[in-house]
Amino acid sequence: MADSTDEDSLECLACRDPITSAVDQRVVPALEDGEAVYRHFCSETCLEEWMA
């Protein structure tokens, strides 16, 4: 896998920080209007806060 750069890094849906670590990252897949959508979070904590 190629290294991520600032230009292509994802943003956490909860805290809006750039996601820099694949180890802590969480991804929630969903279907919206028949298409796959992926919601990215920088940590389990942000995912839990978003789900609350």
Q: Given this model, what pLDDT does residue 51 score?
A: 92
Q: Given this model, what pLDDT does residue 40 score?
A: 95
pLDDT, one tens digit for every residue, the chain (52 residues): 455 455 567 899 999 999 987 788 999 999 999 999 999 999 999 999 999 9
Q: Given this model, what pLDDT does residue 37 score?
A: 95
Q: Given this model, what pLDDT does residue 7 score?
A: 53
Q: Given this model, what pLDDT does residue 48 score?
A: 95
Cα–Cα distance, 27 to 29 (Å, whole number): 6
Residue type, 46: C
**Domain limits, the chain:** 1-52
| 2-37 exposure pattern, b = at least 16 Cβ within 10 A, e = fewer | eeeeeeeebebbbeeeebeeeeebbeeeeeeeeeee
